Amino acid sequence: MLLTVIVLAACGANGEESSNGSGKKKEKASGGEVWSEIKEKGEIVVGTSGTLFPASYYPEGSDKLTGYDVEIMREIAKRLGVELKFEEYGVDGLLAAIKSGRIDMAINDMEVTEERQKQFTFSEPYKYSYSTMIVREDGLSGIETLEDLEGKVAGGGATTVFSEIARHFGAEVKTYGNVTNDVYLRDVENGRTDVIINDYYLQTLALKALPEIDVTLHPDLKFHPTESAIVMPKKADVLAQKVNEALQSMREDGTLTEISKKFFGGKDASKKPEADIREIPGLDL
């Protein structure tokens, strides 16, 4: 993702624990057994990365894990009446940790896809978003439609959904290592790249953090709608029901909106956007 933070510490607080994912492997369970085990031990173990701003991260100078996803999970655990333990994994390791039984579920801005649904159970979405473009203010980098990406240079990660979108429409992708946000934005400003494709909320936060750079969010292009949800074992139907009930109550009493506005600059990511968002068929995700 465009915005990332460095993990400075890996310990939670307020009755929670956080580890690096090296905990003892437990036996896998399915169906109602997953919830029964959680209820019996009085604790739910949740995987997250701790490095994805603003979903799951450590604020600078703090050893307390926070973020939109993290605070949602804390509230769910409270409503389910169980203690919460976070275990931290790299993004690629989260799904494997669910399959192995090391964690009960994962929350890390995980997009719901058809392929993932074949292997896992998802909660109802707690975040709705879509992709946008950051372009030069002068002439919008010559991009009026997605088809105008052909021949352009897009800055991004080598294997992200956003780079796949750029390649799908004929753009060249300039990849980066672990660089700060201003490098991405200044490369668009000075013409080394033409565009950054990424999540709408993350793009908005990036521009807000670096207003001195002469780039802007494309005013017309909104595409690839996404839904993020909590990931659970494939047959954890009772657990999913409990989680969905908690999410529904949080939606009804305004808790989801309140948490979202705290982390997304006053915007409510818990509700479907009203904008007309273009689907992109044929993407190899």
Is the predicted pLDDT of residue 191 greater than 80, yes or no?
A: yes
More confident residue, 276 or 29: 276
Whose structure tokens read 């939606």?
Answer: 251
Question: Helix, strand or coil for residue 66?
Answer: strand
C-alpha torsion 83→240→259→272, nearest 10: 180
Tens of pLDDT along 127-146?
Answer: 999 999 999 999 999 999 99
Peptide bond into 54 cis (omega under 30): yes
pLDDT for the residue numbered 284: 65
- Torsion sign over Cα 209, 215, 216, 217: negative
Is the predicted pLDDT of residue 37 greater than 60, yes or no?
A: yes
pLDDT for the residue numbered 19: 53
pLDDT for the residue numbered 15: 42
pLDDT for the residue numbered 8: 29
Cross-strand bridge partners of residue 233: 120
User: Where do the domains of the chain lie?
Assistant: 17-111+119-124+230-253, 128-225
- Helix 68-80 × helix 237-252 angle, to 10°: 110
Distances (CA, A) of 193 to 9, 133, 175: 34, 12, 10
Which phi and psi angles does 84 have, rounded to 5°?
A: -120, 130
Is the predicted pLDDT of residue 26 greater than 70, yes or no?
A: no
Structure tokens at 264: 């997304």
What residue spans of the chain are helical by DSSP H? 32-41, 68-80, 91-100, 114-117, 161-168, 181-189, 200-209, 237-252, 255-263
| Mean pLDDT of the 21-25 span | 45
Report the alpha-carbon distance of residue 94 to residue 237 in Å, rounded. 19
172, containing H or E segment: strand 172-175
More confident residue, 218 or 281: 218
Name the CATH superfamily, with its identifier, for domain 128-225: Periplasmic binding protein-like II (3.40.190.10)
State the pLDDT confidence band at 18, using cuts at 50, 70 and 90: low
Is the predicted pLDDT of residue 181 greater than 50, yes or no?
A: yes
Classify domain 17-111+119-124+230-253 by CATH number: 3.40.190.10
pLDDT for the residue numbered 16: 52
Compute the radius of gyration of the chain from its Cα atoms.
Answer: 19
- Asked if the domains 17-111+119-124+230-253 and 128-225 are classified in one and the same CATH topology, the answer is yes
DSSP 133-154: EEEETTGGGG-SSGGGGTT-EE
Top mean pLDDT of 89-98, 198-207, 255-264 is at: 255-264
State the pLDDT confidence band at 4, using cuts at 50, 70 and 90: very low
**φ/ψ bin of 119: left (φ > 0), alpha (ψ from -120 to 50), beta (otherwise):** alpha
